[in-house]
A and B are shown apart, each in its own frame.
Chain A
Amino acid sequence: MSAPVAAPPTAPGALWRPVDRLGLALAWAIGLMFCAICAAVVVFLAIQGLRYLHPDMIWTNPRAGYTENETGGILAPLIGTVLVAAVAMAIATPLGVGVAVWLSEYARPAPLARLVESTVEMLAGAPSIVLALFGLILFESHVLGLLSTTNAGVVYGKSFFAAGAMLALLALPLVVVNVREGLQAIPNHVREASYAVGKTKIATIRRVLLPAARPSIITGSMLGAGHVIGDTAIIVFLLGDTLTLHPAGGTPLLGALRGTGSTLTSFVYDNAPTGDLNQPQKAYAAAFLLLLIVLAVNLIVDVAGRRSRQLRWS
């Protein structure tokens, strides 16, 4: 064994050609530029939002007026956002969990399972404007007249029910994919252990698998809710996009759900210079609030995901 020799004059490092250096520099530059753009969007919106968002705007309804001082706040769109998200998730979560359980645990007959699977895939790829158009035709039919306002035999087809139902289709793929992944991550010996102590298949699903998959159910439905809150096209088509809430009939909650309204997204859309109202200050304020809500939803998922004891199977 010879003594360790000194490093050769040219240190044996990897060879860097100019082309490689250029490539690495470009990758860094693009990455930093993208971060800068994202940061600029958030910071710009935060500055504009904080400038125009006053606390009393949250408690007042929008009004018609000539200047931005007279047109009130964003209470109705805020309530609209919450309502429509609640309706959509009330439909999408149970339906999505059901579909995911069936796909993961039963999936018989196989051709039907493949059909359902590709339908969900297709739903995920469908543009929301197409869903909106489809929803308008569906809810204008007389059979579903009860779910929206009817005037002299003409069904308007615009209500929280209609918008919520179509938005649920938007959120459905996210719920199905997440829950299904959660269920498939549970190893088979857990199911077999449950059968071994005499539980039926349905009891196993209800008492063992669904509780174990709870984190993915929360993640899926919250991601879906984020999608629902951020959508505009379906709202403009199916919620009526009215200035304030217009309940149909006297029943408190049911009337509101059958009636029309607006959400923060449609409020922003209408108040942008291209919209009907053109009040940029209001639009900035609402957009900032919208961003905060989406951020809060994400935070909830994060915390819920970390809190819920993630079961580890080995």
Chain B
Amino acid sequence: MIARYTRDELGRLWTDQARMESWRRVEVAASEELGELLGDGDGPSGADLEAIRGATFSVAQVDERERVTDHDLAAFVDVLGASAGHAGRWIHYGLTSSDVLDTALALQLRAVGEVILPGAYGLVAALHARAREHVGTLCVGRTHGVHAEPTTFGVKLAGFAFEAHRNAQRLQRAFEPVVRLLASVPPVVYGLIGVLVVVPFIGNHLISQASKAAVTPVIQLNGQSLLAAVVILSVMIAPIMIATFAEGLRAVPRTWLEGSLALGVNPWRTFWKVAVRTARPALIAGTVLATARALGEAVILAMVSGGVGFAPNPADGLIFFVEPSRGLPATILYNSDGMSEPAMKHTLFAIAAVLLFSALMLSVTGWASKQPMKRYFNVGGAAA
């Protein structure tokens, strides 16, 4: 590091002292790992490790020794080993120079990242603020070195700000791994809430006594209904859809959105006309996959849509929504006791075959409709 070209915070990380301190950390960590691998008898003992952790060095001592060894790391190991006393024989045991030098360099780079990353984001913020400030400052646009249409200085700065933001994110990705997770609520919990909250609500508030009385000879209306099933299933599959949608929207290249924003299109229109349109295959796939999930759901349907084999008739008018119905999966669940009867058994298997085939077709459709998104992933990867 040439002193006049660097800042204190960074220069400090690249001094000989810092470099050797980084070596020391690697040597100590290697000895500790050796102790764990070989055990107390064969490897360094607890007391040895204590001595190794306490070992010290100074740059002057290492330079002095290097005149004899003609090798910087060997000199360092000698100095550190001498300071650890008898335990020093374990330092650098079984290692090569590159094992230590490369690892130590990575440690130094990581420390540097912690300094420059906030700086990179600071640059983004500063450019952003300046771009807003100069949003109306006139500026000559240029094309091929000739004056062209006038633009504003703010637009130029905004371009730099977006670029700096991408660079800062790229820098950040180099330094940290990410872990992500999805929680899933068991369907039976949705079913319970459906049957104890939604069903009584529909039964008591959405169906009039008159309409209940009108259909009593045919069917009982107590709130277990198509409507309850629709409400609960919607809540259940929404997270599945959202996860797929979000994945698709995130895959849309940032630069496309920035292009739209730079042309003065407002954020919502940008989202609607660019992001949603690009991610359309993912939206279709998410819908299809979530539908497949709802299609095969037996337990919720058995709990909230009523156990009677009754087909709601749309011709009845709005009451159709509050009439009970029993889906195919729920039918299997309800009649599981009757399996010993060959006729019932065959019926249930026929239902299962229909379900399996439909689910399969939906999966295939979902997979196929997602394929066009693949190329955007690549575009995004190259641009990021």
Contacts and interface: CB of A to CB of B under 8 A. Distances in A.
Interface in B347-369: 348-349, 352, 355-356, 359-360, 362-363, 367
B118 interface: no
Contacts of A310: 177, 179
14 contacts: A4-B137, A4-B138, A14-B267, A15-B266, A16-B268, A37-B235, A122-B363, A133-B348, A226-B183, A226-B184, A231-B187, A233-B329, A268-B192, A294-B186
Given A233-B298, A280-B196, 4 more contacts: A4-B138, A130-B356, A272-B191, A312-B177
B250 interface: no
B188 A126 contact: no
A23 B349 CA distance: 46
Interface of B: 134-138, 152-153, 177, 179, 181-193, 195-197, 224, 235, 238, 242, 261, 264-269, 272, 292, 295-299, 302-304, 307, 329, 332-333, 336, 339, 348-349, 352, 355-356, 359-360, 362-363, 367
A26 to B, nearest CB: 10
A262 interface: no
B303 A274 contact: yes
Given A20-B268, A24-B268, A122-B363, A7 B135 contact: yes
Contacts of B356: 126-127, 130
A273 B195 contact: yes
Which secondary structure characterizes the binding site on chain B?
helix
A23 B307 contact: no
A214 to B, nearest CB: 13
Given A4-B134, A230-B185, A294-B184, A130 B193 contact: no
Contacts of A2: 138
Interface stretch (A101-109, A188-196, A205-213, A295-303): A295-303
Contacts of B137: 4-5
A240 to B, nearest CB: 12
A59 interface: no
A126 B360 CA distance: 7
Contacts of A305: 179, 181
A17 B267 CA distance: 12
Given A127-B296, A128-B296, A133-B348, A23 B185 contact: no
A126 B138 contact: no
Contacts of A227: 184
B188 A273 contact: no
Contacts of B264: 12, 14-15
A129 B188 contact: no
| Interface size grouping (class) on chain A | 35 or more
Contacts of B332: 129, 132-133
Contacts of A283: 192, 196
Given A4-B138, A41-B235, A272-B303, A12 B187 contact: no
Interface string A27-68: 100000010010001001100000000000000000000000
Contacts of A5: 136-138
Contacts of A290: 186, 188-189
Contacts of B307: 274
Contact of B359 (A8, A125, A233): A125
A294 B302 CA distance: 23
Contacts of A273: 195-196
A41 B183 CA distance: 14
A121 B266 CA distance: 41
Contacts of B355: 127, 129-130
A202 interface: no
B292 to A, nearest CB: 6
Nearest to B174: A314
A149 interface: no
Contacts of A130: 296, 352, 355-356, 359
Contacts of B268: 16, 20-21, 23-24, 27
Given A133-B349, A284-B192, A232 B269 contact: no
A12 B135 contact: yes
B333 A236 contact: yes
Contacts of A6: 136
